Amino acid sequence: MFVVGVTGGIGSGKTAVTDEFAKLDIDIVDADRAARVVVEPNTPALANIHAHFGDRILLLDGSLDRAALRRIIFQNADEKRWLEQLLHPLIALEIQRQLAAAHSSYVIFVSPLLIESQQKALCDRILVVDVPEEIQLQRTMTRDNNDIDQVRRIIASQASRQHRLQYADDVVKNTGSLEQLRERIAELHQRYLEFAAHKQAAGAQ
């Protein structure tokens, strides 16, 4: 399977990009969704997190309060490291399971930490969704109702814009209209179909 890794900073519009690929019948594997799957109620991971952090990270229905957990780990590097050591191997297994189950001509793997982690090794090509930091701040504060300092901490924890672009095989500048975005995705789609066909042909030899 030809895997296109999609990444970008918080608020860059990765979901808008992957939604357009999904409309073209391309399977999407989302690292954030995989991260939710491994901490669903009654999973061993959630039991471990609850035992470590206590009731403050649970919602009334027993599910994980992701916002509360995020606040804790962005203020404490040791707690962030503990959580990553628990979850990263489980998330990696879930991502590999979903990639193996994909049936489209190629598969999109979207992850905010693609560049910072070993996840980029799963990809044949990397597509970076790029916007200026001011737009990241504005979009994220509006969407998540976070204050500016919280958003800046999240941005600082991710790869810098310049570092991310160094790894890009393709770039989507997501500052225009939805129509412009659709045209760019349609163009990339045709290119990825060709790459996928070449990989499949090479594998068959």
Check residue 144 and give its pLDDT. 67
Evaluate whether 90 touches 84 at the Cβ level (below 8 Å).
no
Tell which wins on pLDDT, 1 or 143. Answer: 1
Determine the residue type at 85: Q
User: Average of pLDDT values for 54-79?
Assistant: 93
pLDDT tens digit string along 94-142?
999 999 999 999 999 999 889 988 899 999 999 999 988 788 778 778 7
When pLDDT is averaged across residues 184-202 and rounded to a whole number, the result is: 96
Task: Map out the domains of the chain as residue ranges.
Answer: 1-26+104-205, 32-103
d(CA 93, CA 38): 10
* Entry field: residues in the chain: 205
Mean pLDDT throughout 155-170?
88
> Which residue, 105, 118, 103, is CA-closest to 192?
105
Give the model confidence (pLDDT) of 173-192 as tens digits: 998 899 999 999 999 999 99
- Asked whether 21 and 108 are in contact (CB, 8 A), the reply is yes
Residue found under tokens 């044949």:
124
Please name which of 164, 141, 170 lies closest in space to residue 153, comparing C-alpha atoms.
141
Is residue 89 within 8 Å of residue 45, measured between CB atoms?
A: no
**Stretch 32-56: mean pLDDT:** 96
Please give the mean pLDDT across all residues of the chain: 92
CATH for 1-26+104-205 is 3.40.50.300
